[in-house]
Amino acid sequence: MKVLRQSAMKELEKLPEDKISFVLQIMQGVNGLYNDNQTEKKAAFERLEQLRKKGTVVDYDAELAEYREEKYGK
């Protein structure tokens, strides 16, 4: 990766001063896309965690009987 960075720096040194701002904007945009993607993933995971139902059932047979009673009235 170091060779790639050195090559990029050499190319930047060849550019006229007025063109460097365009390259800088592109680099910032690419970096922003990467960071936004990570932020989106974290936010989505947090939303899923909030939606996930926490299990509070201790007696599954009683829970099932209660559900049947509620649904079928038996």
Domain ranges of the chain: 2-72
CB 64 within 8 A of CB 70: no
First to last CA, the chain: 70
> Is residue 74 predicted with pLDDT exceeding 60?
no
Residue 73 binned pLDDT confidence (cut-offs 50, 70, 90): confident
pLDDT tens, position by position, 33-61: 666 667 778 888 888 888 877 777 778 89
3-state helix, strand, coil in the chain (%, to 5): 80, 0, 20
The C-alpha atoms of residue 44 and residue 50 are separated, in whole angstroms, by 10
Residue 6 binned pLDDT confidence (cut-offs 50, 70, 90): very high
Confidence at residue 3, expressed as pLDDT on a 0 to 100 scale: 92
CA distances from 53 to 47, 62, 63 (A): 12, 19, 16
Helix-then-strand count for the chain, H and E = 3, 0
Confidence at residue 49, expressed as pLDDT on a 0 to 100 scale: 84
Confidence at residue 36, expressed as pLDDT on a 0 to 100 scale: 65
